[in-house]
């Protein structure tokens, strides 16, 4: 049985009671299917994480300022003096 409480805490998401019921059904449905994957022999098979070639992109070591601090802060819910404002973290 999946412990939703731990997953909520790790995901930083709280579910309503209704959502908890839906989540339980979802997990029950899928984990049963997931367990069938064990039937497939994957000995010596390398994982396929991406289908693209993923070559390293190199560039000159010169700073490249794409977006200004002001522009990025325009979207901040709360800002002051060029910084994001958040509640006090240290007491």
Partner 1 sequence: MKIAIDDNILIKDEICTAGSKMLYNFKSPYSATVVDKIKAAGMEIVCQSKIGEFGGETARDETKTAAYAVSNGLADTALGIDVDGAAYRSAIKNNVIYIKPTYGTVSRFGVVANVSSVDQIGVYARNFDDGFKVLEVIAGYDKNDGTTYPTEKYEYNADLVDIKSLKSIDSPDFKLNDYLASVYCIISAAEFSGNIARFDGLKFGYRTENFKSYDDIVINSRSESFTTGTKIKSLMGTYVLSEEQFEKYYLKATKIRRLIKQELDEIFKQYDVIILLPCYKAVTLANLTGCPAIIVNGKLIIAKEFDENKLFALGKSLLRGGI
Rounded Cα–Cα distance for residues 21 and 37 (Å):
25
Binding of residue 82 to partner 1 (CB under 8 A) = no
In whole angstroms, give the CA distance from residue 72 to residue 84. 10
Q: What is the rounded CA–CA span in Å between residue 35 and residue 39?
A: 8
Among 51, 61, 81, 82, binds partner 1 (CB under 8 A): 51
CA distance 10 to 4: 10
CB count in 10 Å sphere of residue 4: 15
Element (H, E) at 8: helix 4-11
Restricted to residues 10-49, the positions that interact with partner 1 (CB under 8 A) are 10-15, 18-19, 22-23, 26-27, 30, 33-34, 36-38, 40, 42, 45-49
Single residue of 1, 60, 63, 66 touching partner 1 by CB under 8 A? 66
Does position 61 interact with partner 1 (CB under 8 A)? The reply is no
Contact set with partner 1 (CB under 8 A): 2, 4, 7-8, 10-15, 18-19, 22-23, 26-27, 30, 33-34, 36-38, 40, 42, 45-57, 59, 66-67, 71-72, 74-78, 84, 86-87, 89
């Amino acid at each position: 049985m999946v412990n939703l409480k731990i997953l909520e805490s790790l995901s930083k998401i709280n579910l309503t009671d209704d959502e908890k019921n839906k989540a339980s059904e979802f997990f029950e449905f899928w984990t049963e299917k997931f367990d069938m994957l064990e039937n497939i022999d994957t000995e010596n098979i390398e994982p396929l994480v991406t289908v693209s070639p993923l070559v390293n992109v190199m560039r000159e070591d010169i700073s490249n300022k794409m977006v200004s601090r002001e522009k990025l802060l325009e979207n901040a819910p709360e800002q002051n003096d060029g910084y994001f404002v958040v509640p006090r973290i240290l007491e």
